[in-house]
Structure 1
Amino acid sequence: MDEKMTRSHSYSTSTSRGASPYYGESSSHKDSFPQRLIDSFKRDPTSYAISKGTITADGKLFDVESAAQNTAESPLARRLKGRHLQMIAIGGSIGTGLFVGTGSALAAGGPASLIIAYGIIGIMMYCTVQALGEMAVLFPVAGSFSAYSTRFLDPAWGFAMGWNYAFQWLVVLPLEIVAASLTIEFWNHGRINSNAWVAIFLFLVVVINLFGVKGYGEAEFVFSIVKVTAIIGFIILGIILNIGGGPDGTYIGNRYWRDPGGLHNGFKGVCSVFVTAAFAFAGTELVGLAAAETANPRKSLPTAVKQVFWRITLFYIVSLVLVGLLVPYNDPRLLHGKSSADASASPFVIAIQNAGIEGLPSVMNVVIMIAVLSVGNSAVFGSSRTLAALAEQGQAPRFLAYIDRKGRPIVSIGIAVALGLLAFLAGTNKQENAFDWMIAISGLSSIFTWGSICLAHIRFRKGWQVQGHSLDELAFHSQPGTLGSWLGFIINVLILIAQFWVGIAPVGYESMSSSDLAREFFQLYLAVPIVLLFYIPYKLIYRTPFVRSHSMDLHTGIRELNLAELIQEERREMAAWPRWKKVYKFFC
């Protein structure tokens, strides 16, 4: 490998984050627990060196090199292990998008539209996460994909993508807390005000995140096991119910594909499902964001990235095929409830209710409640880490880069939790409007994030080649390669075009007023003007250049100093594996 690739970095890899007394241990064993707790919130001493801005002396030009250095040296704690990453990859983002949102999607497009839209998004996600995995294994830096956009595309675009992603998760937190409180209505029926449940759920999310990245990882490990077990159980139950093994013994087969049918509202019905599908898959990229806080991303991340394919195939596609077989798209309960967050509109719950199985709908609602809490937990993690990384690059207020001695971006976590208070709108008559606009902000945000990841990977590969490197020097490289990244990028662009069409001419637009049409458009397309409002002014003010292949920084942030030797050693070990193990490791 090029000598530059193995040059010494300004931080030592031999000292893992968490081994220092500043990461959860008192420098004095005589200190009491309250004192140690108070001290843990003090600023990490190493963060002083990197909290400086990255705007040059004239105040106009962006310093890409300093930004890369700051994200590489972020004092975030590196405590996530392989099992945490794998469960985050397998079930970390499964929430209302799959369990509840598929109800309105099924009603809008029918079961065929559901499979087509989720299938296309699934193919794109496979390509995207593979591309992200390649970059994150080599550069496990704070901010991950937004930092890659700054480093490999354009600092202004990285700024826009960072804030786009932060806003997405900042609104998802209250969104999921509201959804969890609505899930309680399955049993509560209005006896206790929704805001009481909001307070409880928000408190749980705050407590989990105060335990730092290890708390987030352990919580997601447990939550994901519950969600994965529930989906596998539903798949087995769905097959049994479909072939006539339910209490009434009625064979269903493809009855609902014939009447009322497989497609609803034609091609426009398919297009209308894309936003719901994107919302359901949002969070899949968190496995890349977590790389900066992983003890050994070179070992853990490739396995976690490969797990995403199986999650898409098994948990999304197979379960949605069964949902489409068990629930007709014209079932009125699919659009029932105060909003699309109401778990009573979940096709998973409706399928079990149709079978007449007592008790199981309540079990499924418990799973949905756990799922939405899991995504709320991920929302705090995703938004806080992104805000802190933006601040470290000089693209957000400096105080957001405050990282305490436990490796927590505590100020950014506080901002996320403060915006989580919007969830108390659940107890007001503005609940439905608030929920709809939160979805509008977060809906297409993921499309921009995923498209940027694919484009950043394409540019990274070009720079890697131009600067004289080969794929053999990469510890992990994307299985579909740059062709997969081009496919992912094109699919994201096509989805944006399809959503523009659906936005200006939604299903049933002939009978809608002009004000309703405008509302429908902005609820579908609000993320686009938000991204442009961040990108264009920043581009004009700081005159950021598009990053050229020959000038890309391909060195800063590589954690292992002897990466070339480690890769060669691992490949010698792999050559000695039996064939079955090679096949298994390729897929898993």
Structure 2
Amino acid sequence: MRNGKYTNEDQLKYENSTTTNTSSSTTTTSENHGIWQNFKDSFKPALNNKNINEQDDESLTDLQKINQNTSKTKLRKDLSSRHIQMISLGSSIGTGLFVGTGGALSQGGPGGIMIAWILTASAVFATMQGLGELCVTFPISGGFNVYASRFIEPSVGFAVGWNYFLQFYVLLPLELVAAAITIQYWSSNINSDAFVIIFWFLILIITLLGVRGYGEVEFILSTIKVLAVVGFIILGIVLISGGGPNKQFIGGKYWHNPGPFANGFKGVASNIVTAAFSYGGTELVGLTASEASNARKSLPKAIKQVFWRIILFYFGSLVMISCLVPYDDKRLMGSSSVDLVSSPFTIAIVNGGIKGLPSVINAVILISVLSVGNSSVFACSRTLNSLAEQGMAPKWMGYIDRAGRPLVAIIITNLFGLFALIAANDNAQQAAFDWLLALSGLSTIFTWLTINLSHIRFRSALKFQGRSLNELPYVSQTGIWGSYYGLLLNFLFLIAQFWVALFPLGGKPNAYDFFLSYLGFPVTLAFWIGYKIWKKSFKLYLKSNEIDIDSGRVDIDIDVLQQELAEEKAKLAEKNLLIRFFKFWC
């Protein structure tokens, strides 16, 4: 302590002593009790080790509470770099790729699907760079929905947070239904409800293992999916070249007949939201920041590598699909999020005359939907926990146990997964899921849009308060202009979706189709207005001088940070051009 004030050294000593005391307590407990008792004790509330500089809640404004509470989360930092990369990657390789691309191909054609995915990819790249800068600088609980609260305005964080929660809340039962239907590929006599229960129980166990156990399981499942996609790309090249059982050279004939575009510009526009849904999940790295063991080292690598891997897997797969499956194939017409028979991957292999492999593809789809269902519990529970920490959800929903699990949020999410039991009734299933998905249908675009805006507002506050980019542990490679680009593209995506919702493909304007496609907008707007009325605060945005750019910061010691960055740059400068290029982008 110097001049009556706590310094970074004092804080470090305090945290170390707290950690030591906690470890000693845990060791003593382990010696005095058996494994079963320790297991039961893990569900007790996490020990409340208060920060020495922490203020009482009564003396803080709502915004100050948000900044303070999310900066001192009790979530355990057990995720390594490989866990973070695979969680983000695994949540993106699922039904959006294996099934959703079938409907997109039938609506937009091969040219339409490539344009939509490339355009969306550029927006994702810019958005992920801005998110990387924010989550490396602020590895706090809740990630992007908290950034919206502290850099834009709390009502925006409230609206985006609850909308994002709804997106993954509905996704869990949807994925359980998809898994049960995939099982029926091998036998139509299988009871769907029985397998829904089996898969639900499996996901429940995984999510209760703790964040490290979840990370290990997700790493394995995602590795299988990645290998399957790579294998499909290699097989696709062989089939296109005429190396399949049919010995028929395919080349780009389907680009000529039936043609590159199915429904012109409207077909491309309709594919954009499907593409956004497919890429949805890349932003999950923002939620893992608070549980990363070394945020400054692992998050930048995850931000850069995950995107390029997705680009490789998605575009490699899309090129194969567009060459192997004509967009007017009748099997594509029934494409939906739970109709796995219409997967273009399966159709491509069947068209190539290969027997047996469709079963392998369906097995991979089964693993994929379970993996995405698993990730949805992670996303839901962390988002709900963050909302509770921000005072935007009941406080009891933010309960964290001694194992570092947001226990109540995990249970709430898993319980709704049992909604999948309506799988036995096909009609009820389709109507219920369609409208539940519609509630958060634009959630991914809203999330990306606010990430870009949060990054812009953060940079504005940094400049206004006379702070330098040199104090940031990671700087966006696309800079603030990348965030402006991402903001513009996501805004255009909303306009394109409005147009397609109002004038649907192959139909006339009608309220049913419009709200099915665009219900997410009025729902998000209602959340935003509702929070304003609740808090009786009608401020549209935070001014630059009102933005807190210090709470929850990592590597506060600027001199040490600059020394580390300088050493890393010096080591990299000694490498050859190829390695420097790889390190910059990967």
1:552 aligns with 2:547: yes
CA distance, structure 2, for counterparts of residue 25 and residue 201 of structure 1: 35
Instruction: State the shift of 1:62 in Å.
Output: 5.2
Amino acid at match of 2:272: F
Q: Which consecutive residues of structure 1, in runs of 5 or more, have no partner in the other structure?
A: none
The aligned counterpart of 2:500 is 502
CA distance, structure 2, for counterparts of residue 433 and residue 100 of structure 1: 19
Q: Deviations over 1:462-509 (max 9, x none)?
A: 111111122221111111111111111111110110111111110122
Q: Identify the match of residue 356 of structure 1 among 353, 373, 380.
A: 353
SS in 1 for 2:48: helix
1:136 aligns with 2:135: yes
1:393 aligns with 2:395: no
**Does the aligned pair in 1 maintain the 2:87–2:375 contact within 8 Å?**
no
**Does the aligned pair in 2 maintain the 1:54–1:63 contact within 8 Å?**
no
How do 1:45-84 and structure 2 match up within 5 A?
Answer: 45-46=47-48, 63-84=62-83
CA distance, structure 1, for counterparts of residue 18 and residue 102 of structure 2: 45
1:263 aligns with 2:258: no
CA 1:443 to 1:85, structure 2 compared with 1: closer, same or farther past 3 Å?
same
1:247 aligns with 2:242: no
**Does the aligned pair in 2 maintain the 1:291–1:301 contact within 8 Å?**
yes
Q: Identify the match of residue 194 of structure 1 among 192, 195, 215.
A: 192
The aligned counterpart of 2:34 is 32
**Does the aligned pair in 2 maintain the 1:17–1:78 contact within 8 Å?**
no
Instruction: State the shift of 1:330 in Å.
Output: 0.9
SS in 1 for 2:562: helix
**Does the aligned pair in 1 maintain the 2:29–2:38 contact within 8 Å?**
no
CA distance, structure 1, for counterparts of residue 538 and residue 400 of structure 2: 28
Amino acid at match of 1:146: N
Amino acid at match of 1:574: K
SS in 2 for 1:260: coil
Amino acid at match of 1:30: N
The aligned counterpart of 2:417 is 420
Amino acid at match of 2:124: M
Amino acid at match of 1:269: G
**Does the aligned pair in 2 maintain the 1:18–1:78 contact within 8 Å?**
no
CA distance, structure 1, for counterparts of residue 521 and residue 299 of structure 2: 31
**Does the aligned pair in 2 maintain the 1:137–1:475 contact within 8 Å?**
yes
1:573 aligns with 2:575: no
Q: Identify the match of residue 491 of structure 2 among 490, 493, 511.
A: 493
CA distance, structure 2, for counterparts of residue 13 and residue 470 of structure 1: 28
How do 1:342-381 and structure 2 match up within 5 A?
Answer: 342-381=339-378
CA 1:22 to 1:416, structure 2 compared with 1: closer, same or farther past 3 Å?
farther
Aligned residue pair count = 574
CA 1:17 to 1:323, structure 2 compared with 1: closer, same or farther past 3 Å?
farther
CA distance, structure 2, for counterparts of residue 442 and residue 8 of structure 1: 46
Q: Deviations over 1:348-399 (max 9, x none)?
A: 1110111111111111111111111111111000011011111111111010
Instruction: State the shift of 1:441 in Å.
Output: 2.8
Per mean C-alpha deviation after superposition, the further-off stretch among 487-496 and 463-472 is 463-472
1:88 aligns with 2:119: no
Q: Identify the match of residue 533 of structure 1 among 526, 550, 556.
A: 526
Instruction: State the shift of 1:136 in Å.
Output: 0.4
Q: Identify the match of residue 408 of structure 1 among 399, 402, 405.
A: 405
SS in 2 for 1:485: helix
**Does the aligned pair in 2 maintain the 1:23–1:406 contact within 8 Å?**
no
1:316 aligns with 2:328: no
Q: Please provide the CA RMSD for this pair.
A: 2.5
Amino acid at match of 2:343: S
**Does the aligned pair in 2 maintain the 1:105–1:276 contact within 8 Å?**
yes
Instruction: State the shift of 1:46 in Å.
Output: 1.5
Amino acid at match of 2:98: F
**Does the aligned pair in 1 maintain the 2:136–2:554 contact within 8 Å?**
no
How do 1:448-463 and structure 2 match up within 5 A?
Answer: 448-463=446-461
CA distance, structure 1, for counterparts of residue 494 and residue 148 of structure 2: 19
SS in 2 for 1:261: coil
CA distance, structure 1, for counterparts of residue 25 and residue 130 of structure 2: 32
Q: TM-score, normalised by structure 2?
A: 0.93
CA distance, structure 2, for counterparts of residue 43 and residue 317 of structure 1: 46
Instruction: State the shift of 1:9 in Å.
Output: 9.6
CA distance, structure 2, for counterparts of residue 277 and residue 68 of structure 1: 33
CA distance, structure 1, for counterparts of residue 187 and residue 55 of structure 2: 50
Q: Deviations over 1:137-174 (max 9, x none)?
A: 01000000000011100011111111111111101111
SS in 1 for 2:186: helix
Amino acid at match of 2:95: T
Per mean C-alpha deviation after superposition, the further-off stretch among 101-110 and 309-318 is 309-318
Instruction: State the shift of 1:533 in Å.
Output: 1.0
Instruction: State the shift of 1:98 in Å.
Output: 0.7
CA distance, structure 1, for counterparts of residue 399 and residue 299 of structure 2: 27
SS in 2 for 1:403: coil
**Does the aligned pair in 1 maintain the 2:282–2:307 contact within 8 Å?**
no
**Does the aligned pair in 1 maintain the 2:87–2:285 contact within 8 Å?**
yes
CA distance, structure 2, for counterparts of residue 107 and residue 534 of structure 1: 35
CA distance, structure 1, for counterparts of residue 221 and residue 204 of structure 2: 16
- Share of identical aligned residues, percent? 49
CA 1:108 to 1:549, structure 2 compared with 1: closer, same or farther past 3 Å?
same
SS in 2 for 1:46: coil
**Does the aligned pair in 1 maintain the 2:141–2:386 contact within 8 Å?**
yes
Amino acid at match of 1:153: I
Amino acid at match of 1:202: W
Instruction: State the shift of 1:49 in Å.
Output: 8.8
